[in-house]
Structure 1
C-alpha cells in the first residue's frame, strides 16, 4: 500500500471542494490547509487526522495563534 503524504499549503481560495481521499466536502477556508503533497487537491480534517495527525495539530496551533493575535491586537493579520 502506497503511503499517503500530505502537506500544509496556503489556500488563497475558500472552496468546499471534495476531499481528494474520501470525496466528502471540505470546509471552505482561506489560509493554511491540508493538501495531497505535490498537488492542490484538498484533504478533509477527518482524513488529515487519519493520515497526518501531526499536521492537523500544527494547523490547529496556527489557527489558535491567529485568534490570539487578533484578540490582542485587533484586526491586524500575521501576514
Structure 2
C-alpha cells in the first residue's frame, strides 16, 4: 500500500512499524477496523480507540492525538464579535 493513501493514523502506525494483528489483540479493536482507520479518511477515530492504541504503544495519548489532528483548525469567523 502506498503511503500517500494512508490516513494520519495509518502513517503513525507505519512510522512506528506497528503490526496491526498484534495491536488488535492488545486493544480489542478488530484488524478490519484498524485497517479502515489506517486507509479510509471517512472512518473516524473514536477517542476510546485512540486511548487504547496509545496505551498499547506505551505512549501518551496526547502524542497520538496531536499527530492525528495536526491539520485540524478552528474555522475562521466571519463576524466581528
Name the larger-Rg structure: 2
More strand by share: 1
Greater relative CO (CA pairs within 8 A, separation 6+): 2
TM-score by length of 2: 0.31
